Amino acid sequence: MNSAIWFRFAEAAALILATLAALGLTGGPRRALARRAPVARGRAAKWLWAALESLPFPLLALGLGALALRLPAWTGAAWAERFPPAHAGAWILFWLMLLAYGLGEATFRQILAWKGQALPALLRGVLRLGMTALAAFCALRFELGWNVAPLLASTALVTAVVGFALQGVLGNLLAGMSLNLTGSLAPGDWVAIDDLEGRVAEMNWRETWLTTRDQIPVRIPNAKVADARIRHLSRPAAPRRCKLPVDAGYDAPPDRVLAALHAAAAAVPAVRRTPEPQALLMEFKSYGIGYELRVWLDDYPFREPVLADVRRHVWYQFRRAGIDIPYPVTDQVLNDFLSRAGPPAAAADDPEAGRRAAGLLQSDFAKKVLAGADGQPLVPAADLAAWAGRLPSQLYGQGETVFRQGEAGDCCYVVLAGQLEGRIAHRETGATTTFAVGPGAVVGEMSLMTGLPRMADVAVKESADLLRIPAPEFAELLGKHAGLVEQVSQLVAERVQQNRRQLEDALAAGAAPAEQVLSRDGILRRFWRLLGGGGR
């Protein structure tokens, strides 16, 4: 190998080392300038910092390379003529073109930022690669006098051969450029690509990476993404509707089912109130009626926990309303049922009635409301147990509201199981008081006894089983025992005096004076009205 080739290798090595040195030395300053640009105040300041970020690397590479090429001439060595000045000129032209492009790119990126857009990283890389090739051809043609036409022709031929061999890779590259130019996807987006749903974690020249809800990264070639049907779940940021199919039996009136569905949607805080939820009767099936509950959510990508909560509330609402959820009966299910069916069993006591009776006998309703001043029960235990067996018990799920402060109420509840949480908002001070209610406690009895609105918000802290005591059933109990009306009214009046301030707050919006409602005579008149005895 002759000396000319060695000098060309030495020259190339010096330029490569100069470029690498410039890249390493300017890394820290460029990162510092990049951090300053987004937080700068004013458009001019943002552009200035972005422009400064593009200057250090090309300027230092230009200077170090020019120094390496000029150094032999400055030494006066005999071999200095092996490094012609044209090479330094080509080097300077190459980096000046890249410097001008860097300033132009910084300006264009700031213009896009002012419009709320961004230049995709993949597109930036492709443009920089193209500009680097253009600067190299210009340096060869105008400084070194090379005829680049054959080089371009050879490059085109090589490109055709390589493109045919790597058409899949190039297809992914072009698809990635298209996705970046159109802004169809961006890192952080929640999307559904065909049947795959996840968050866009990364986009590069070849592939798009999605992270599913199970935190599993999935790689999809850009060409597949470009041809797929893409559903954006997070852009634009607006409420989205979810549909929840629900079936109910033919014996449940549709109006009751629709009301229960509306109540279930209203019980979930994450369901938007506007647009309001919709419950629709959709179709008649062989085993039941198909309904659809439509709700609007703000955070659609994370809809599954919200819809699960809605389904949970649907079950509790259906259970309390006496609505069955049917299911298709197949031949196998029917055969299994018939094979296991035997002769009807002898009638037995209802275990649920016994459980309700035991819960009532051990509750504050029996020990305080229906007990005298000496603690003795006013109603025989057998009569109270028989009466309790006819009362309905209702299941409530966690987070459901039993009643709200200020609502009208004609029943009370005995907690058979679970935990409730109460909240009282005091009208005068604006303060709130919270309290916990456990098994055996009774809530809402003042509304039942006095006819006042509810005095607290009561919600379910842990899934609860509540024994509901409606006014007609309570009136039936009063009517069966002589003297019970007067005794209970006296006990309630005494308790009223202990909570008079709170009860007067409940009366503030009403027209009736406090003495007419809260006195013993007022409570007695309400009991006689419940019994159908007028105002005696």
What pLDDT sits at residue 397?
A: 92
Q: By the 8 A CB rule, do 424 and 433 touch?
A: yes
Separation between Cα atoms, residue 142 and residue 461, nearest integer Å: 81
Separation between Cα atoms, residue 68 and residue 62, nearest integer Å: 10
pLDDT tens digit sequence for 302-343: 999 999 999 999 999 999 999 999 987 665 555 665 666 555
Residue, of 30 and 504, whose pLDDT is higher: 30
Q: Say yes or no to pLDDT of 80 above 60.
A: no
Q: By the 8 A CB rule, do 216 and 205 touch?
A: no
Separation between Cα atoms, residue 66 and residue 62, nearest integer Å: 6
How high is the mean pLDDT of the chain?
Answer: 82
At 205 the three-state DSSP class reads coil
CATH number of 352-530: 2.60.120.10
Q: Say yes or no to pLDDT of 522 above 60.
A: no
pLDDT tens digit sequence for 138-159: 888 888 877 777 766 666 656 6
Residue 190: pLDDT band with limits 50, 70, 90? very high
- Thinking of the domain 240-321, which architecture would CATH place it in? 2-Layer Sandwich (3.30)
Examine domains 240-321 and 352-530 and report if their fold is the same: no
DSSP code of 411? E
Separation between Cα atoms, residue 528 and residue 536, nearest integer Å: 7
pTM over 0.85: no
Separation between Cα atoms, residue 55 and residue 61, nearest integer Å: 10
- Thinking of the domain 182-232, which architecture would CATH place it in? Roll (2.30)
Residue 535: pLDDT band with limits 50, 70, 90? very low
Report which residue type is found at 356: R
Radius of gyration of the chain (CA): 41
Q: By the 8 A CB rule, do 225 and 193 touch?
A: yes
Residue 495: pLDDT band with limits 50, 70, 90? low
Separation between Cα atoms, residue 69 and residue 497, nearest integer Å: 103
Provide the residue ranges of all domains of the chain, joining segments of one domain with +: 3-165, 182-232, 240-321, 352-530
Separation between Cα atoms, residue 429 and residue 331, nearest integer Å: 66
pLDDT tens digit sequence for 376-422: 888 888 988 899 888 989 999 999 999 999 898 889 999 999 999 99
